Amino acid sequence: MRFSVKFLFAIRPAFLTLCLSLIVVVLFISGVSLLDWMELKTYDFRFLSRGHVPPTPVVVLALIDEKSLAMEGRWPWPRTKFAMLVDYLSHDGARVIGFDIGFLEPDENYQNDLALAKAIQHASAAVVLGYFFRMHVADVNYPMTQEEIDRQLKHISTSKYPFILSPAQAAHVGPFLRASALKSNLEVFTTTAASSGYFSLQNDQDGVVRWMPLTIQGGEDVFPPLAILCAWHYLGKPQLTVEVGHHGVDGIRMGQRFIPTDDAGRLLINYLGPQQTFPHFSISDILHGKLPRGTFTDKIVLIGALATGIHDVHAIPLSAAYPGVEIHATVIDNILTQRFLTNPKWSQLYDLLAIIILGVLMGLVLPRMGMVKGLLYTTGLGTAYIIMAYWMFVHTRVWLNIVYPLLRDPKIINRP
């Protein structure tokens, strides 16, 4: 018995290392809200420290700003103004016009709706309309019958994903986010537009938008967002396919381009910079011909709102108030430039190995060091790991976990 007790004390550092590593592994696998929140903040800090990344010049924004409201009158505007805007952008050579606003209710004058529908129908640019899905029943402001939901789904059925590549085993996985209801544009616009894509966004647990859902299931069909369809039309409408694996969605295939997603079909957004990273143009300047001809030639023009009271803002890693229209612009940029951030499946295995390896390095070395050397060793090891994770984020655009691998108390391991 005395030998056994001495033996247990002899292996105490290794035993504690093993216990701590197992605890951290269990916490990592099960997830702890506070620790996950801390990891999200380290993720945001990586964006802030990385700095600005120049966007592609292809995407520009036409905005309903304070200047536009002062010039054109209070919101809502008659649809004839948007008809004039579509005509101008189309004549100036825009390749795609995307609306991050919805035409959900009739204009006071039905002729105004007809004027906009005619402008959309005759535009040389591909016009992509935006609408929104409601993901939860509680989000629906008024009750919708199944008949009404089916009718609206039918209006946008021509804009669903045309192909879903899925192994037989994955048919029962049900990986897609499912909507409870939707609010689409009036039929007079939906039937004349080139496509319709949702502009619905999702927040993480701390209210920050880091992911863009690229697949949402409505009824029996799966639909793409506004950003996917704008990029798709810009690239000449290559074959568009959702690729599903055995554990969920793998990504979106757009011709030769592949857009990686998580199992739920969400893209990790590679934000490029703060507000106004993309060129802003006031709609009033466009309507009054104050911009040089050719400003919008071969461009994707996203139409959205910035004016107080009518625009949507969201928290992102780089800003607490970021325009929703710029989020869609960022996703389009990611697709066109193929500069994707990923959190691949292998990164979870890597994170587990990092937890174990760092634990072993600390557990084996710290008991042989004094307090000062041990503190310096731990600090150096942790700093090296943080620098490596940051380097991976900036140069390979891979998100590796920082919080869990560093989650241990070296003083316990170092205790005599």
Instruction: Report residue 380's pLDDT band, with 50, 70 and 90 as the boundaries.
Output: confident
Q: How far is CA 90 from the centre of its chain?
A: 29
3-state secondary structure of 193: coil
pLDDT for residue 310 = 81
Please tell me the distance from the alpha carbon of residue 343 to that of residue 269, in angstroms, as a whole number: 11
Pick the closest to residue 97 from 114, 134, 122 (CA basis).
122
Instruction: Find where tokens 């991976």 sit.
Output: 392
pLDDT for residue 415 = 40
Please tell me the distance from the alpha carbon of residue 32 to that of residue 39, in angstroms, as a whole number: 10
pLDDT beyond 80 at 49 = yes
Q: What is the pLDDT of residues 144-156, one digit of tens each?
A: 778 888 888 988 9
Q: What are the phi and psi torsion angles at 94 (to 5°)?
A: -60, 140
Burial class, 57, CB count within 10 angstroms (exposed 0-12 / middle 13-18 / buried 19+)? exposed
Pick the closest to residue 22 from 414, 415, 407, 412 (CA basis).
407
Pick the closest to residue 334 from 278, 294, 295, 388 (CA basis).
278
pLDDT beyond 50 at 125 = yes
Pairing of strands 216-218, 221-223: antiparallel
pLDDT for residue 348 = 76
pLDDT beyond 80 at 141 = no
At how many degrees (to 10) do helices 79-91 and 110-122 cross? 10
| Average pLDDT along the chain | 86
The β-bridge partners of 398 are: 342
Pick the closest to residue 392 from 378, 408, 376, 405 (CA basis).
405
76 upstream amide cis, omega within 30 of 0: yes
pLDDT for residue 225 = 98
Instruction: Report residue 8's pLDDT band, with 50, 70 and 90 as the boundaries.
Output: very low
Q: Using H for helix, E for strand and C for coil, what is the string for 325-362?
A: HHHHHHHHHHHHHCCCCECCHHHHHHHHHHHHHHHHHH
Within 13 Å and on the Cβ side, how many CA atoms surround 261? 30
Instruction: Report residue 371's pLDDT band, with 50, 70 and 90 as the boundaries.
Output: low
The mean-pLDDT minimum among 32-36, 131-135, 172-176, 379-383 falls in: 172-176
Q: What is the pLDDT of residues 316-364, one digit of tens each?
A: 999 999 999 999 999 999 999 999 999 887 777 777 777 777 776 666 6
Tokens of 94: 């825009």
End-to-end Cα distance, the chain? 22
Instruction: Report residue 138's pLDDT band, with 50, 70 and 90 as the boundaries.
Output: low
Q: What is the pLDDT of residues 278-330, one digit of tens each?
A: 999 999 999 999 999 999 999 999 999 998 888 789 999 999 999 999 999 99
* Domain locations in the chain as residue ranges: 17-51+343-413, 59-337
pLDDT for residue 14 = 55
Cα separation values, 276 from 60, 209, 306, Å: 10, 17, 11
